Amino acid sequence: MADWATISALATAGGTLVLAGATFASVRSGSRSARIAERTLLAGLRPLIVPTRREDPPQKIGFFDDTWLVAPGGGAAVEVTDAAIYLGIALRNVGAGIAVLHGWDLHLSADAPDDPRLQLDRFHRLTRDLYIAPDDTGFWQGAFRDPSSEEFAHARDAVRSGERVDVDVLYGDQQGTQRMVTRFSLLPREHDVWMATIARHWNVDGADPR
């Protein structure tokens, strides 16, 4: 004779198991969809900095020792003294999120690494974060202040001899995520004018976005 109590209990247990499996699958699918939506949202808010257009107004760039540079549209400014080397680039943010500039590294063109993500520990930290709003202009600035250092000597000799120099700029969004490195090549022109061009972009926290 059938044990209906046992059969009923087994049926209930089976139904509960099926329901739990369906719930788990639903939650897992929902979590995956949420992660995809979050990544899509963040990608839509990614900043991306490039040189300004040539018709954009020049950027006046000040340093704490009251030194000032003027970087023209589409260009950069460089000044070498016995005590310091000052650099600045006029920038435009063509991404959808606010760009927060954090650090930088300078290379002679022949010594620029293939991937600066492997050398982030040598980046110079900016003394202040620089912000560039979406579809707006701003600037990057950096300086060498130790004339006895080898880095200072190399940069000074390169600038004075009219060599191309590369600057890797580290930046991200307001949340400190989606960090990027953009490499700018500074090319000397006549009358102490420097042109700024992009060499490459890297996504520091993930895959190369090219």
Candidates 100, 108, 125; CA nearest to 180 is: 100
Write the CB contacts of 183 (distance below 8 Å, at least 6 apart in sequence): 112, 116, 166, 167, 168, 169, 198, 199, 200, 201, 202
User: What average pLDDT does the segment 161-180 reach?
Assistant: 89
Instruction: For tokens 């600037």, name the residue.
Output: 139
- Band of residue 11 on the pLDDT scale cut at 50, 70, 90: low
**Signed CA dihedral, 64, 187, 90, 207: sign only:** negative
* Domain count within the chain: 2
Q: CATH no. for residue 68?
A: 2.60.40
Q: 103 is written with which tokens?
A: 């650090």
Residues 166 and 107 in one domain: yes
Residues 40 and 103 in one domain: no
180 within domain boundaries: yes
The Cα–Cα gap between 28 and 9 comes to: 28
Whether residue 79 contacts residue 85, with contact meaning beta carbons closer than 8 Å, is answered with: yes
Residue 70, number of CB atoms within 10 A of its CB: 12
Candidates 47, 45, 39; CA nearest to 182 is: 47
Residue 102, number of CB atoms within 10 A of its CB: 16
Residues 92 and 185 in one domain: yes
Per the model's pLDDT, the better-predicted residue between 127 and 207 turns out to be: 127
Residues 155 and 180 in one domain: yes
- Band of residue 130 on the pLDDT scale cut at 50, 70, 90: very high
Residues 57 and 26 in one domain: no
Residues 172 and 70 in one domain: yes
Residue 87, number of CB atoms within 10 A of its CB: 25
The continuous run of DSSP H or E covering 6 comes out as helix 4-44
pTM, entire model? 0.77
**The pLDDT value given to residue 209:** 41
210 within domain boundaries: no
Residue 30 lies in domain: 1-44
Residues 78 and 171 in one domain: yes
Residue 191, number of CB atoms within 10 A of its CB: 4
User: What average pLDDT does the segment 159-179 reach?
Assistant: 89
- Band of residue 32 on the pLDDT scale cut at 50, 70, 90: low
Residues 20 and 56 in one domain: no
Which residue type sits at 62? G
Residues 169 and 66 in one domain: yes
DSSP string, 7-37: HHHHHHHHHHHHHHHHHHHHHHHHHHHHHHH
User: What average pLDDT does the segment 73-83 reach?
Assistant: 95
- Structural domain ending residue among the three candidates 29, 44, 59: 44
Q: pLDDT of 62-77, one tens digit each?
A: 999 999 999 999 999 9
Residues 191 and 110 in one domain: yes
pLDDT at 43 over 70: no
Residues 119 and 170 in one domain: yes
**The pLDDT value given to residue 108:** 84
